[in-house]
Amino acid sequence: MATLPRINFTHTGTFCADLDNMVEFYCQKLGFIVSDKGVASTGHRLFFMTQNPEVHHQLVLFDGKPTDLPFNPINQLSFLLDSLDDLKSYYAFAKANGIQNIDQVDHGNAWSMYFKDPEGNPIEMYVDSPFYTNQPCREPLDLDQSSEEILARTEAMCRRRPGFQTREEWMQSIRERIAEQRVRW
């Protein structure tokens, strides 16, 4: 049996009853910056937040948490892999081991696969791409394609969208924004 690639827990998404208050708290009290914001495919407003210029988001806050009934606020648990080939290996492993309903997504800045654990908690396994495009971005991905085909398709897609940057350019802009935030403290 082959050894599986290493995974790293990197971020969580959570639903909020008062999204604007939560964003303000994480920015003003914990020093996060908003790295992107928009509307998810579900219609929920969302904010991507980070304190690390190498990580697009460490936290994703969504609106839509009901206040009048029990609700699991966890949107997803996300695990970072080291390479696109590692993601492809996990995809093949998941399929071979009976994981159903795997959603493959090209986010432009990352390639992801989503599925649920036995209790229905959403899991994301992903790897960063060498590109940046405004988020949210959700395009089809086919992990059965070669890595070269996936890379070329993603780059072409990102270049068509507004705000294209390389991952390195994006990280530098985030470094500068984080430095500005820390000066204000």
| Contacts with 34 (C-beta within 8 Å, 6 or more apart), sequence order | 23, 27, 47, 48, 49
Say what the pLDDT of residue 185 is. 61
Q: Give me the numbers of helices (H) and strands (E) for the chain, helices first please.
A: 4, 11
In 53-120 the beta strands, taken as DSSP E runs, fall at 59-63, 74-80, 103-106, 110-116
pLDDT category of residue 1 using cuts at 50, 70 and 90: low
Alpha-carbon distance of 5 to 150, in angstroms, equals 19
| Contacts with 167 (C-beta within 8 Å, 6 or more apart), sequence order | 109, 128, 129, 130, 131, 132
pTM: 0.79
Q: Is residue 40 domain-resident?
A: yes
Which pLDDT tens digit goes with each residue over 93-150? 889 888 889 999 999 999 999 988 866 778 899 999 999 999 999 999 999 999 999 9
Q: Is residue 179 domain-resident?
A: yes
Q: Is residue 34 domain-resident?
A: yes
Which pLDDT tens digit goes with each residue over 138-150? 999 999 999 999 9
Which pLDDT tens digit goes with each residue over 29-62? 778 899 999 999 999 999 999 989 999 999 999 9
Say what the pLDDT of residue 136 is. 95
Token digits for 2?
């082959």
Q: Is residue 1 domain-resident?
A: no
- C-alpha gyration radius of the chain: 17
Say what the pLDDT of residue 75 is. 82
What is the domain-level CATH number for residue 27? Answer: 3.10.180.10
Q: Is residue 2 domain-resident?
A: no
Q: Is residue 35 domain-resident?
A: yes
The domain in which residue 81 lies consists of 8-184
Q: Is residue 174 domain-resident?
A: yes
Neighbour-count burial of 43, counting CB atoms closer than 10 A to its CB (0-12 exposed, 13-18 middle, 19+ buried) = exposed
Could you give the number of structural domains in the chain? 1
| Contacts with 50 (C-beta within 8 Å, 6 or more apart), sequence order | 32, 33, 35, 56, 57, 58, 59, 174
Say what the pLDDT of residue 119 is. 65
Say what the pLDDT of residue 123 is. 86
Inter-residue contact 84 to 141 (CB < 8 Å): no
Inter-residue contact 166 to 130 (CB < 8 Å): yes
| For range 145-164, the mean pLDDT | 97
Q: Is residue 3 domain-resident?
A: no
